[in-house]
Amino acid sequence: MCNKEIKLDKIYRVHNLDNHSKNKWCKFTAQRQLTLNFFWKSHEILKERRVIELSHTSVACAGLTEEKYHNYILLSPSQYGGGRRTDIVAYELFPEKFPKQKNYSWRVLDEDQRKLLKRTLLAFYQWKLNKDLIAIFSTKCLNFTTNRSGICDNCLVLTDNI
């Protein structure tokens, strides 16, 4: 609001923000700087409109957040999934480095070859894991959707693959 850090605890509390904006240390009060409250409508009005507008407006894709996916998301060492095995892609890209498809190692590749391998692997991945949101998103996620579920069509297709 006025570049002062406000502790909101783990759960957002409108009370903390309102109290700060009303005290004399808030730059809005002292210097007439516009606050976020100026740009936001009241919470009650937004709740009423959200129900009405949801069917007509697009919302941010929520991804796959069901509890059955939580262990996979949190325990997976990777950020992506649904791709091809790294060693197979490396054998195809650099057959001269790995004769007879043996002894795969990143150390054999130089910096440019490693970058090429990483870019190629990213192209094959079908989903990405977001551990902060505890959600799975398609690599082709549209980011916004008008679906009532709040999940875009590309992310919904993943339910068949996972």
Higher pLDDT, 17 or 91: 91
Q: Confidence band (pLDDT; 50, 70, 90) for 97? A: confident
Task: Give the integer Cα–Cα distance in Å for 17 and 6.
Answer: 7
Task: Give the integer Cα–Cα distance in Å for 72 and 158.
Answer: 14
In a domain? residue 150: yes
In a domain? residue 34: no
- Residue type, position 153, single letter: D
In a domain? residue 65: yes
In a domain? residue 134: yes
Q: Quick check: 91 and 98 in contact, CB under 8 A?
A: yes
Structural domain count, the chain: 1
Q: Give me 64's structure tokens.
A: 């796959």
DSSP E strand boundaries for the chain: 59-60, 80-81, 127-130, 135-138, 144-145
Mean pLDDT score, 22-45: 54
Instruction: Flag the least confident range among 10-14, 52-56, 79-83, 124-128.
Output: 52-56
Return all residues near 97 (Cβ < 8 A) that are at least 6 apart. 90, 108, 109, 113
Main-chain dihedrals φ then ψ at residue 151, nearest 5 degrees: -120, 130
In a domain? residue 13: no
**Range of the structural domain that residue 91 is part of:** 60-160
In a domain? residue 35: no
Instruction: Flag the least confident range among 3-12, 37-46, 61-70, 88-97.
Output: 37-46
In a domain? residue 72: yes
pTM exceeds cut of 0.85: no
pLDDT score for 28: 55
In a domain? residue 55: no
pLDDT score for 56: 55
pLDDT score for 33: 53
